Amino acid sequence: MKKRLILVVLTVLAALCLCFGLVACSDGIDGKDGLGFKFAEVDENGHLILTLDDGTVLDAGKVTADETTADEGTEGLQFQKIKGENGEYTAAVVGLGTAWDTDIVIPSTYRGLKVTAIGDYAFSASRGGLLTSIEIPNSIITIGASAFSNCSELMDIAIPDSVTSIEDKAFAGCDGLTEITIPDSVTSIGDYAFSYCNGLTEITIPDSVTSIGKWAFSNCIGLKGVTIESGTIGDYEFSSCSNLKSVTIGSSVTSIGIRAFEFCDGLTEITIPDSVTSIGDWAFDECSELKSVTIGRGVTLIGRGAFSMCDLLENVTFVEPHEWGEYDYYGDSTVPGIVYTPEELSDPTFAAGLFSSHHYYFKRSV
């Protein structure tokens, strides 16, 4: 930035000398009849202050660097010009280039183009594995696939509220991250986006997120608490988060995917709100410490083995018991093998034994 400022100052001085004729930049022909600059400086308000040889002080006005040349980020980063659907060009940062810094600042503009994306694999592994912090400008809309994957030393990163999409494996394997805030501008999170982020302990998925890919937070073994405010909980989303103890499912969540919480050994209880209509196959498979489940009024389908191998499960409570049919997974899916009455399912112990079955799934009859 200092280099840019010097260039700007020199440009202003040249303009003053050549165009405005305010003062001479050197002595006159006889060596006496011109006044030279004694020194120039930029004050705290950004104004260029000129001091002439005779002591005269001139305010040449505010100095502003041209946005197209302003060097506001880490030098040496590699960029690529991209064309949007509207035909306008922007830029994406696509690699470290010649930058060797461990603390990276991504600029908001590059050669006059707005930087709107972090490209696929831009900082992944290799030298990116040495990065400790990334500053992302408020111009970024998309964080590309594997953009920071396996940046194991990355500890400090803030996702700005301009970002709408976090692509597949964007932060996968970032063990050093202990916290990350997903802003409510984000609408989609890709497959494996935060998988194997073993340092994360808490995560909140805001209600702006309408699409979450498979395995998005899987194998985050340090994760202890999650809040999902709305949308759907994806297949395998929190699979093998073995220390997960607290799950808050918001009142706008509509479904829980296949194996979404399998092998979450730390879970002891779960409440499924009225907004959820289906629980996927094996959704809570082998949650070995799970003891209590509350199922909301809206659930009409409980998938095969949804609570299988939950050996300590002793209490499944229906907020409003209905008649449920038991269906053989490999048999006729239109005719239930057995129908259970609301009275039977009002017994939490009976329901716990029933819904931990390996081979059947259940549909609400009414």
Digits of tens for pLDDT over the chain (366 positions)? 444 444 444 444 444 443 333 333 333 333 334 444 344 444 555 455 555 556 777 776 654 433 333 347 999 999 999 998 889 999 999 999 999 889 999 999 999 999 999 999 999 976 667 899 999 999 999 999 999 999 999 998 999 999 999 999 999 999 999 999 999 999 999 999 999 999 999 999 999 999 999 999 999 999 999 999 999 999 999 999 999 999 999 999 999 999 999 999 999 999 999 999 999 999 999 999 999 999 999 999 999 999 999 999 999 999 999 999 999 876 667 788 899 999 999 999 999 988 877 778 899 986
Rounded distance, CA 257 to CA 284, Å?
A: 10
| DSSP code at position 333 | S
Rg over alpha carbons for the chain, rounded to the nearest Å, is: 30
Cα-Cα-Cα-Cα dihedral sign, residues 184, 189, 192, 193: negative
Q: How many CB atoms lie within 10 A of CB 264?
A: 26
**What is the model's pLDDT at position 85?**
86
Cα-Cα-Cα-Cα dihedral sign, residues 23, 13, 65, 56: negative
Summary count for the chain: helices (H), strands (E): 3, 25
- Provide the 3-class DSSP secondary structure of residue 80: strand
Backbone angles phi and psi of 71, in degrees to 5: -100, 90
Centroid of chain to Cα 331: 42
DSSP string, 4-31: HHHHHHHHHHHHIIIII-SS-SS--TTS
Residue (of 75, 12, 1) closest to 40 by Cα position: 12
Q: How many CB atoms lie within 10 A of CB 27?
A: 13
Tokens of 260: 């979404």
DSSP string, 183-247: -TT--EE-TTTTTT-TT--EEEE-TT--EE-TTTTTT-TT--EEEEEEEEEPTTTTTT-TT--EE
Q: Are strands 246-256 and 211-212 parallel, antiparallel or unpaired?
A: unpaired
- Contact between 103 and 132 under an 8 Å Cβ cutoff? The reply is yes
